[in-house]
Amino acid sequence: MTYPVKMYQYHAWANQAIFNRLLELPGELYNQKIHSVFPSVAAALIHIYTVDFCWLKVLTGWDMKDALTEAHQMGGELEDLGAEELQLRFIELSDGYLSFFRGHPDLEQLITLDNPYAGIRDTRLSEIVLHVVNHGTYHRGNIAAMLRQLGSSSTMTDYAFFWYQEEAAVHPPFVNR
């Protein structure tokens, strides 16, 4: 497994950790209006999703302008979803990324990216994947701060925490019987 794929697995795990925490909290926190980086936790999650969606389209060969248009349209549709429904969309999107990784073993492949906001440049597929991960980490931090503002706590989504969760799944702790 390549480093970008491992980092994407962390990204998917961290997103699910946020949803798992949200589903433990009172349901109204998901859409509660707040004066912060985003107007609600739901809006922050929708932003993460639509950006992830856009970049997957770019990875699979879409023109970035077309991918942005599609993602923007989808964002409006997602506003009506509850946390559980959006969580399922995140899982489906993660499956799309994993399918992409299986079909593209060379993530060091260069593509020409025509970013309407930043210009044209040659970019490795791995750079896009690492950008997706970094972007999600940044906004999960926003969500953690927003949950604090709303009187609740978030959950640990640090990469180091992912290591231990992953190890525990492969090598469960010994239980003395």
Q: Is 139 annotated as a binding residue?
A: yes
% helix / strand / coil in the chain, to the nearest 5?
65, 5, 30
- 8 Å CB contact between 146 and 44: yes
Q: Is 47 annotated as a binding residue?
A: yes
- Gap between the Cα atoms of 67 and 58, Å rounded: 7
- Gap between the Cα atoms of 78 and 65, Å rounded: 20
What separation in angstroms does the CA of 2 have from each of 34, 105, 112, 174?
39, 9, 22, 29
Q: Is 72 annotated as a binding residue?
A: no
- Gap between the Cα atoms of 12 and 91, Å rounded: 8
- Gap between the Cα atoms of 9 and 144, Å rounded: 20
- Residues flagged as binding site: 47, 135, 139
- Residues flagged as binding site for a divalent metal cation: 47, 135, 139
